[in-house]
Amino acid sequence: MTTSFDRRRVNGPDETFQPIYNISLSNSNGERPLWNLNEYSLLQDPCAMPTQSLTLHTQVTGPDGLNVMRIAQKNFNKRIDRRDAHDSRPIYIQPGIIPSASGSALLESGNTKILCSVHGPRQVRGRQYAGKAELNVLFQLAPFCNTERMKPGKETELPGPASLVQQALLPALRLELLPKSSIDVHITVLDSDTSTLGLVAMGVSAASTALAQAGIEMLGMVMGSSASAAVTLPEQGMSEQRWLVDPALHEAAHANAHFMICTIPALARTTCYVLDGPIFDMNQVRVISDILVARGIEMHAAAAQALYKLV
């Protein structure tokens, strides 16, 4: 009599795999690595195979000279959508998309879609007198914005991005002209195809356009731009960072540094500056900052033209 095997009694995995740092880098003829990766999840030339553009190399980091194994790309040419490293995706701005709101705006860039609505200024009752208005920002994800559907509720609300949006908008708003009142900004991500900082940058641009459409007095509209850095391995064998403007979701997932800057193009002033991750060369950061500022000027012109057509 045979006893049926109960799989639940086994705590280990069904299959075991060799760790990646023990995999041989090349086959017998030394042409290519032995692992397979999804070519659509890499920052590489779409015409090249993943095994031809990836390599595993050792980099010395830290004051103790530790050897760190990491995957890098070599011979970086074009991105998957055929953009250059410093090219951004076309944008579409439509203000006044929600008639019931004081101001609203829809911002699209590639596959990313963000909807923003502004309610107010409203009179605050039952509170102590305040000499200027308060700005409340709600940043949330639609349950269907990602590949995996999320449960509606607190899981879709992001307090971190909401705080960054508020920080970027406050220097531009003249809240002292609206005492004892509140302004509510609701940002909803309908479709996400960029990094978290990329969503924040687009949310700032959409919120600024919606505030302008609502008639809230500002020193100038705030526009945000973002970039991510991927580790590449040139021919000389030293790893370096390749900054990608307006990264897609698969590009941001394989990046080791993220950057966002929010500016007031009309005044040439910066309201928010976020740099997250290790930086190999600060000169590249200065160059990418100038590129993101120039992109903010282009977005400002597009938003102003959209508001002019609405009038």
The segment with the largest mean pLDDT, out of 58-62, 120-124, 293-297, is 293-297
The segment with the largest mean pLDDT, out of 9-18, 93-102, 148-157, 233-242, is 93-102
Q: What does the pLDDT look like over 18-60, one tens digit per residue?
A: 444 433 333 344 444 433 333 333 333 333 334 444 555 555 5
Query: Is residue 231's pLDDT more than 70?
Result: yes
Query: Is residue 169's pLDDT more than 50?
Result: yes
pLDDT of residue 9: 63
Give the mean model confidence (pLDDT) for residues 133-159.
88
What average pLDDT is seen over the chain? 80
Segment (H or E) for 13: none
Topology annotation, domain 91-309: Ribosomal Protein S5; domain 2 (3.30.230)
Domain residue ranges in the chain: 91-309
pLDDT of residue 187: 97
The string of DSSP codes covering 274-299 is: EEES--S-HHHHHHHHHHHHHHHHHH
pLDDT band at 239 (very low <50, low <70, confident <90, very high): low
Q: What does the pLDDT look like over 66-94, one tens digit per residue?
A: 555 555 555 455 677 888 889 999 999 99
Half-sphere exposure of 246 (CA within 13 A, CB side): 23
